[in-house]
Structure 1
Amino acid sequence: MKEKCLIIAEAGVNHNGNINIAKKLCLAAKEAGADVVKFQTWVTEKIITPNVKQADYQAENTGNTQSQFDMLKALELSYDEFREIKRYCDEIGIVFASTADEPDSLDFLVALGIPFIKIGSGEIGNIPYLRYMGTKKNPVILSTGMSSLGDVEISLRALRDGGATDITLLHCTTSYPCPYDDVNLKAMDTLRNAFGIEVGFSDHTEGIEAAIAAVARGARVIEKHFTLDRNMEGPDHKASTEPNEFKAMVSAIRNVESALGNGIKQPTCAEKEISQVVLKRIVACRDIAKGQVIREEDICVKRNDVGLPANTWDMVLGSISHRDYKKDEGIEL
């Protein structure tokens, strides 16, 4: 991963099966400051049986009772359409990525030139597929929604068995939208400490606060659902971020990154300049003659632009004055 946090606009299926909307999502993500715009790639018949019902949030957001199969089929884009989307991303200058939901789509995306393999939370524990992903030797970003620490360990082992070495874990709560009291950002620390690898956050909350806090807590990747309009029809729009809000999130994240600094506690250049007239210095609180032993009653601490800093108090006490001092003159040795 690069040094700054990687910000992924999760376009997902918010194109509603329409390539023109997909391209608009790419351009909007670019303009909002995302590093990557990411979709989902699958062949419906290869990922789901015909009669699986929609999740409650999907049924509520789509307003119908169709099966997941029918919903996904309507949202499926072809490989040729993804080739066109990738070309468009290259033209406008944003990185294209997509989550492959089955092996054939993974092969297609790797050949297309994705920068990393993104694995959705639904593949946690899918040992044969995770091992196959590992054989690609691409960097991997694994979402960890719906899982325990043990589940993550099993999935990591499968990826490494296949040959994956560059793996980032995204803490995630699979809930759309996710209530703030279910976010549990401290789980990022647990993942980092348990496995010793980089972590990030896949954010399903409404608003941008959780993503910003995750960066302050050390997230190296932020993934956030992205839509042109939350009022559009489709399963994920309502839990997604619109362009202006996403842009505000990106700006806040970049500011937080700048504010984190390097961890070295020392005065900045601006502070050094200000300290010349703000930090307290040792001054004469009455006239002092040359050759006089400096006693506590001879000196005090005040703001002054000349003189020894207050932290040299013990060194000055008992020393011999090397010249005459008037009241309020800064003491020097």
Structure 2
Amino acid sequence: MSTTPTTTRQRTLGSRLAGPGRPVYVTAEIGINHNGDLDNALRLIDAAAEAGCDAVKFQKRTPEVCTPRDQWDVERDTPWGRMTYLAYRHRVEFGEEEYRAVDEHCAERGIDWFASPWDVESVAFLEKFDVPAHKVASASLTDDELLRAMRETGRTVILSTGMSTPRQIRHAVEVLGSENIVLCHATSTYPAPAGELNLRMIHTLQTEFPNVPIGYSGHETGLQTTLAAVALGAVFVERHVTLDRAMWGSDQAASVEPGGLRRMVRDIRTIEESLGDGVKRVYESELKPMQKLRRVPGVVAEQGEAPGEGVDRVPAAV
């Protein structure tokens, strides 16, 4: 496993490099939208692979560690009947057998998978697999013990920044080390209203952490704002995926269904292509319209320049 970036703003994610100048790394977060059903998880992996995503992401917890003790015996209604919160947490948690099946299925479909470990024991569990990265959920950003455990694996760490202050974000980056992280802007509301997405934070993070690639983890409904994040420079994108937004579960309503996921990946690739390199040029495809429509041609190209090389030429005086 190699995690050495080729530039200060590129990171290794499996067989891919993510960062400026590279295709956006698109992750479909399955999380616990499988509702503890392996078949649902495999179908969601299929949907992500068919949409052209680079990876799927799960959530891994040790229920007794991650569930507050005073909540263990609190009962709640679930699709499987009324049960305690701790029993529910076990019901939706995958173990090694399920993750072996996930690992094999992702390999067959040619797509990466990784997870957000919510406790140190879960980091050790995920290290049984050759995952391309570990993900810090926004809720875990202040858990220094967990951050250090992820850093010690040597893998790329993706850090979401929802529900966090600038000071907390700076501290988490310091604990993790900036050399091998991807920093994701996020708003931790499910679903997040457009007025609270604050996508200009992508630029703020780019400015404050100039050597760190910046991504976006979205929890909104619709696709437009995620696409806007790409246009603003996000090099990593994560959206929750579901088989049906009407399914039971806290994350389903803020998720994208398979058809929407396909459109999102398609449009991200179109945006990447259309952004270009920022250098003004006259394209060869513009020459015929120029000859037909421009009354005063001006200077198109100097001697030795190809049609597309006439950059920053001043038109002839009228």
Q: Is TM more than 0.5 here? A: yes
Listed one character per residue, the Cα deviations across residues 216-241 of structure 1 (whole Å, up to 9, x for unaligned) are 00001110010011111222112111
Listed one character per residue, the Cα deviations across residues 42-72 of structure 1 (whole Å, up to 9, x for unaligned) are 2211222343389xxxx89979986543332
Number of residues paired by the alignment?
A: 282
SS in structure 1 of the partner of residue 106 of structure 2? helix
Alpha carbons of 1:120 and 1:274: their partners in 2 closer, same or farther (altered >3 Å)?
Answer: same
**Contact 1:32–1:243, Cα closer than 8 Å, also in 2:** yes
SS in structure 1 of the partner of residue 71 of structure 2? coil
Residues 1:115 and 2:132 aligned together: yes
Listed one character per residue, the Cα deviations across residues 282-320 of structure 1 (whole Å, up to 9, x for unaligned) are 79xxxxxxxxxxxxxxxxxxxxxxxxx993347xxxxxx
Aligned position for 1:209:
224
* CA apart distance, 1:129: 1.5
Gaps of 5+ in 2: 1-16, 299-312
Aligned position for 2:145:
128
Aligned position for 1:312:
316
SS in structure 2 of the partner of residue 280 of structure 1? coil
Alpha carbons of 1:167 and 1:61: their partners in 2 closer, same or farther (altered >3 Å)?
Answer: farther
Aligned position for 2:55:
36
Pick from 196, 200, 205 the counterpart of residue 186 of structure 1: 200
SS in structure 2 of the partner of residue 165 of structure 1? helix
**Contact 1:172–1:201, Cα closer than 8 Å, also in 2:** yes
Residues 1:27 and 2:42 aligned together: no
Distance 1:276 1:53 in 2: 75
Distance 2:81 2:204 in 1: 39
Distance 1:281 1:224 in 2: 50
**Contact 1:282–1:310, Cα closer than 8 Å, also in 2:** no
Aligned position for 2:34:
15
Listed one character per residue, the Cα deviations across residues 130-165 of structure 1 (whole Å, up to 9, x for unaligned) are 1121111111110001001111011111112xxx62
* CA apart distance, 1:192: 1.4
Listed one character per residue, the Cα deviations across residues 100-121 of structure 1 (whole Å, up to 9, x for unaligned) are 1122221222330111111111
Distance 1:95 1:72 in 2: 25
* CA apart distance, 1:97: 1.4
Distance 2:34 2:204 in 1: 35
Distance 2:113 2:42 in 1: 11
Distance 1:282 1:241 in 2: 49
Distance 1:127 1:275 in 2: 60
Pick from 247, 266, 278 the counterpart of residue 232 of structure 1: 247
Gaps of 5+ in 1: 284-308, 315-333
Aligned position for 2:257:
242
**Contact 1:139–1:165, Cα closer than 8 Å, also in 2:** no
Alignment of 1:253-272 (within 5 A): 253-272=268-287
SS in structure 1 of the partner of residue 179 of structure 2? coil
Aligned position for 1:304:
none
How many percent of aligned residue pairs carry the same amino acid?
A: 32
SS in structure 2 of the partner of residue 51 of structure 1? helix
Using structure 1 for the length normalisation, give the TM-score: 0.79
SS in structure 2 of the partner of residue 201 of structure 1? strand
Distance 2:84 2:206 in 1: 38
Using structure 2 for the length normalisation, give the TM-score: 0.82
* Relative contact order, higher structure (CA 8 A, sep 6+): 2
Distance 2:273 2:103 in 1: 31
Aligned position for 1:174:
188
Distance 1:31 1:53 in 2: 39
Q: RMSD of the TM alignment (CA)?
A: 2.5
Listed one character per residue, the Cα deviations across residues 56-94 of structure 1 (whole Å, up to 9, x for unaligned) are xxx899799865433322111102210111111101111
Alpha carbons of 1:282 and 1:195: their partners in 2 closer, same or farther (altered >3 Å)?
Answer: closer
